Amino acid sequence: MTSADERGLIGGFHAVMSAIEKDRGLARIWLASGRRDGRADALRAAAADRGIEIVSADMAALDAMLADVRHQGCIAERALAREKRESDLLDLLAAAERPWVLALDQVQDPHNLGACLRSAAAAGVTAVIAPRKRAAGLTAAVRKVAAGAAERIAFVPVTNLTRAIARLQDEGFWAVGLDGTAELSIYDSDLPERLVLVAGGEEKGIRALTARQCDALVSIPMAGDIESLNVSVATGVALFEALRQRRLATQG
């Protein structure tokens, strides 16, 4: 049986209206049969403006769809994100005004991938690339942790991460890898505009082959005797340092 998380179901008038207003890519909305009041009418009008299908259903059917949610006779289904094709990556980047990329080297924990996607979307990253094998993919668990970010950022599995980074370098991008042993602090580095930020997996960080492909390696300074951060935390710190530098560049 397909779970509500896997179908991308949300319930309640406030949650559904918010998803419409924020253009969260709703596929359809179910309303309780015969529901006619101010909230229902406002939701119908908003859905019509977005071209979202509305389906009538009895309360028993709605209860069965979201048994543990107080849905108030209103349920919506999000159009779930799909992984992008590697062949479309360069076109995706060319369409962006100031493209930059997050590359994840064998991040295998779905919770870490979901958190990385959420941070990447919040920082305005154009695309996230990751190996197709020995790495987490865009699963229901990842989407849940990403809290909507998986629908707002391009996730691109690639056959070979090193080759994918090399192709981006041929297009004028610079690859900067996070490495806890690097002497250069990320705060003392001038991160490039066309950036590929490379973060490693949970156990060993970025692989040696990936590190050699990078144009530079940087570290996040640690206070005390903590040696490293969780990959999603380190990625978030680095992404927002990159965002800070990008904003300063536009102000200069």
Give the global pTM: 0.74
Residue 138: its pLDDT value, please? 82
Q: Partners of 219 in the beta sheet? A: 185
**Nearest in space to 125 (alpha carbons), one of 82, 87, 92:** 92
Give the β-pairing of 74-78 and 154-158: unpaired
- Please say if the pLDDT value at position 226 is more than 80: no
Residue 24: its pLDDT value, please? 67
Convert the pLDDT of each residue in 133-149 to its tens digit.
Answer: 989 888 877 877 887 78
* Pair of tokens at residue 104: 């994840």
Cα–Cα distances in Å, from 126 out to 112, 129, 158, 182?
19, 10, 16, 26
The pLDDT mean for the chain works out to 89
Residue 252: pLDDT band by 50, 70, 90 thresholds?
Answer: low
**Most confidently modeled range among 19-23, 74-78, 236-240:** 236-240
Residue 36: its pLDDT value, please? 83
First to last CA, the chain: 55
Q: Which domains does the chain have, with CATH numbers?
A: 4-78 (3.30.1330.30), 86-251 (3.40.1280.10)
- In this prediction, residues 244-249 reach a mean pLDDT of 93
Judged by average pLDDT, the poorest of 81-90, 92-101, 157-166 is 81-90
- Please say if the pLDDT value at position 2 is more than 70: no
Residue 132: pLDDT band by 50, 70, 90 thresholds?
Answer: very high
- In this prediction, residues 19-38 reach a mean pLDDT of 84
